[in-house]
Structure 1
Amino acid sequence: MAVYAAVCLVIFLIPLVLQDAFLLNKYARYLVFGMLAVSLCLSWGQAGILNLGQAMTFGIGSYCMAMALKLKTIPVHTGSDGLPDFMVWNNVTELPWFWTPFYSLVFALLAGVLIPACCAALLGWFMFRGRVTGVYAAIITLAAMVVVQLLIIDQQKFTGGFNGITDLAQFDVAGFAFDAYDSATYYLVAICLTAALFLALAITKSKTGLILQAIRDEEDRVRFFGYDVALYKIFIFSVSAGIAGLAGMLYTIVMEFASPTFLGVPLSLSVVIWVAVGGRQSLLGAMLGAIIVTGVQGALSESETFLDSWTLVMGLLFVIVVLFMPKGIAGGMELLANRFGGHRAVPAVAAPKPARAEADDARRAESLS
């Protein structure tokens, strides 16, 4: 717990020593990816559910926020008849019914968390009630994500298609606007990341968390003990999706647009890599893995030295981590702490026998003599 608090404190102190608005925006993006990694770690690392479609719920949350912020720009676009600009270009004459509730920012905030959670619960109900596990569950989540992405691209007149939803208003609460390049937005992301991290930690430390870990290690045995395994899986799958949806909303605020690439296969597979590098059984490790990997990736891709070869360098780093740190960065740090932290194995001492057992042994020895 203390390590978690210390890392979060460092995150909050960064704006005090960094005044560059562009870098603050970049680091805010990294924190969003850290939250997305925490969400996957919660389902994969703690419950053994490998979700290859985690970007689906991330993208749904992103679009929920984008729809609300887009509707705030309509008065700016004269002659649009109260419609977003891309709808006018696609000859839409009336605002679709499912856009109307997003005039309310409160509804958008709730929808960005609850819609991904409900989608995950529905998908999980079919999978886990049917006892679909392992690679088959991973394939189903990946297929569901691709279907949602294709649906968003196909319905261009309602979603903006390949271009996504752009030209958004700033996110504001009670008249206070969050500029994407201001420290206020960075702190907003940091606060949400901290809350999500400690919520996930509380779940893992609870009785529910212990049952989920048992399901991860030996699902059939937990089922034989009388627990509803499917219900526990649906619960953690939905919580994971809700956190991913929140991360998606924050990403739209930071990036100032929503795109179907947010629901793409590359992003979804990248999240799996981040969690694997950081350590899938450690929430803090997964978060740091995402921040470190995306940070190194950004630095290499912007460097003139590695401009054409940064992907090879990243691939080499992944191979090294997998070979020498199979439990990720968190596992490697734990191993080093145990080796150099003075922890020594205590020799086993035989437990004293009860008085009655000693008397029986003495009686048995006398009879043998």
Structure 2
Amino acid sequence: MSGKTKTEIVICAAVCLAILLVPVFMNDSFLLNKYARYLVLGMLAIALSLSWGYAGILNLGQATTFGLGSYCMAMALKLKTIPIHTGPDGLPDFMVWNNVPELPWFWKPFYSTTFGVTAGIVIPVLFAALLGWFMFRGRVTGVYAAITTLAAMVVVQLVIIDQQAYTGGFNGITDLAQFDVAGFAFDAYGSASYYLVAICLTASLFLALAVTKSKAGLIVQAIRDQEDRVRFFGYDVALYKIFIFSVSGAIAGLAGMLYTIVMEFASPTFMGVPLSLSVVIWVAVGGRQSLVGAMLGALIVAGMQGALSESETFLDSWTLVMGLLFVLVVLFLPKGIAGAVETITARFERRDPAPAQQPQRTDAAGAGTHHLESLP
């Protein structure tokens, strides 16, 4: 294990430990709920960093898998409200209002919470894998891949809104039961839900870190930098892209389920363009090639956005302030906050110059000569 990897693990562990200790010093249930929401958005940023920063796939529709996970959890929790918020036949209230005669077949498995949780990960993964198969097998890259993911998200959102009788339409799925495991309920405003989100965030962060350090992760990063060269070496480029795209979708789906738990509803806005573009901004600010940087970027920007929108001073102009912040970051911190920290740290850790009799060659030709001279 390299020194850089050890440093990344220590930083991730320190950040996650600090997150887990928040309820120890805070008893305000409203703030715990707000911070839990921010942590969920941090998970979403990790998902995008994995596909954009490490694989070079700019997913402008990351909110699609997030929203699918959210709706899977909402469907399972909605069926637990029977007979409250339901009709005489045990139908969800919005189905009664739309004259649906019986519970649709695709709703019935969600009577099982276990199925709902499993579907909240499997369905986003299948969606990401299917979309990735069409894109990457067809060698769609760059801006065209970004536009494709954005278009797919808009289509899914329109379908959700149009099928009001089965999805709740614009209103989404509301009046949900509390998520519970073995009889233990997770109150959206309690510390238990915060810990649930924090633990899932920690697991997602280390899972993503493990993927990036694996052989598959290294190949994906090589594809990001020199796709044609990796293909000439005989690797199935499309397969590796589909893999990383699917892992990103799984993390986003898990984040969507947690968002439904802490928000207590699911809405088509969860898979809207504003949220997807916001995630891109968060990751750009934090640093797209740093998982913990992307997560912290989401926490910082989302926190600032919440504080400014609630302030009387910036009540009508907080969007301009956030736009200015993004412009400044793009101009002066092109690699985000994490990239700036890494650059500053590298300056302090710079080694002493080599002795005069053996100058260190830094150009490409010198590097190649150095390696040749070291051969027996």
TM-score per shorter chain, which class? over 0.9
How far apart are residue 76 of structure 1 and its match? 2.0
- d(CA) in 2 for partners of 1:346 and 1:239? 43
Q: What amino acid sits opposite 1:92 in the alignment?
A: V
Matched, 1:194 2:183: no
Residues 128-147 of structure 1 aligned to structure 2 (within 5 Å): 128-147=136-155
Matched, 1:125 2:133: yes
- d(CA) in 2 for partners of 1:343 and 1:198? 29
Unpaired runs of 5+ in structure 2?
A: 1-8, 360-369
- d(CA) in 2 for partners of 1:238 and 1:356? 42
Per-residue deviation, residues 261-296 of structure 1 (Å, max 9, x unmatched): 001000011111111110000000000000000000
Q: Which residue of 2 aligns with 1:343?
A: 350
- d(CA) in 2 for partners of 1:216 and 1:180? 40
SS state at 1:72 partner: helix
Q: What amino acid sits opposite 1:288 in the alignment?
A: L
How far apart are residue 308 of structure 1 and its match? 1.1
Per-residue deviation, residues 83-134 of structure 1 (Å, max 9, x unmatched): 0000000000100000000001111111000100001101111110010000
27, 50, 62: which one aligns with 1:54: 62
Residues 196-345 of structure 1 aligned to structure 2 (within 5 Å): 196-339=204-347, 341-344=348-351
- d(CA) in 2 for partners of 1:161 and 1:356? 68
> Structure 1 316/91 Cα, relative in aligned 2: closer, same or farther at 3 Å?
same
Q: What amino acid sits opposite 1:140 in the alignment?
A: T
Q: TM-score, structure 1 length as denominator?
A: 0.94
> Structure 1 214/94 Cα, relative in aligned 2: closer, same or farther at 3 Å?
same
Contact 2:86–2:92 at 8 Å: present in 1 too? no
How far apart are residue 352 of structure 1 and its match? 12
How far apart are residue 222 of structure 1 and its match? 0.3
Q: What amino acid sits opposite 2:209 in the alignment?
A: L
How far apart are residue 206 of structure 1 and its match? 1.0
Q: What amino acid sits opposite 1:202 in the alignment?
A: A
> Structure 1 91/309 Cα, relative in aligned 2: closer, same or farther at 3 Å?
same
SS state at 1:177 partner: strand
Per-residue deviation, residues 303-351 of structure 1 (Å, max 9, x unmatched): 1111111111111111111111100010011112123x34235427367
- d(CA) in 2 for partners of 1:193 and 1:255? 17
Number of corresponding residues? 356
Alignment RMSD (CA, Å): 1.8
Per-residue deviation, residues 145-190 of structure 1 (Å, max 9, x unmatched): 0000000000000000000000000000000000000000000000
SS state at 2:185 partner: strand
- d(CA) in 2 for partners of 1:353 and 1:287? 42
Q: Which residue of 2 aligns with 1:89?
A: 97
- d(CA) in 2 for partners of 1:78 and 1:232? 45
**Greater CA deviation, 343-352 or 259-268?**
343-352
Contact 2:87–2:96 at 8 Å: present in 1 too? no
Q: What amino acid sits opposite 1:151 in the alignment?
A: V
Q: Which residue of 1 aligns with 2:78?
A: 70
Contact 1:112–1:249 at 8 Å: present in 2 too? yes
- d(CA) in 2 for partners of 1:177 and 1:15? 18
Q: What amino acid sits opposite 1:327 in the alignment?
A: K
Q: What amino acid sits opposite 2:19 in the alignment?
A: I
- d(CA) in 2 for partners of 1:244 and 1:328? 22
Q: Which residue of 1 aligns with 2:39?
A: 31
Contact 1:74–1:80 at 8 Å: present in 2 too? no
Per-residue deviation, residues 36-56 of structure 1 (Å, max 9, x unmatched): 000011011000011000000
Q: What amino acid sits opposite 1:241 in the alignment?
A: G
**Greater CA deviation, 341-350 or 304-313?**
341-350
SS state at 2:314 partner: coil
SS state at 1:44 partner: helix
Contact 2:53–2:290 at 8 Å: present in 1 too? yes
Q: What amino acid sits opposite 1:105 in the alignment?
A: T
Contact 1:68–1:104 at 8 Å: present in 2 too? yes
How far apart are residue 353 of structure 1 and its match? 10
- d(CA) in 2 for partners of 1:247 and 1:293? 18
**Greater CA deviation, 296-305 or 347-356?**
347-356
Q: Which residue of 2 aligns with 1:173?
A: 181
Q: What amino acid sits opposite 1:81 in the alignment?
A: D
How far apart are residue 228 of structure 1 and its match? 0.3
Contact 2:85–2:175 at 8 Å: present in 1 too? no
SS state at 2:139 partner: coil
Unpaired runs of 5+ in structure 1?
A: 358-369
Q: Which residue of 2 aligns with 1:362?
A: none
SS state at 1:76 partner: coil
> Structure 1 298/343 Cα, relative in aligned 2: closer, same or farther at 3 Å?
same
- d(CA) in 1 for partners of 2:325 and 2:371? 52
Q: What amino acid sits opposite 2:233 in the alignment?
A: F
Larger Rg: 1
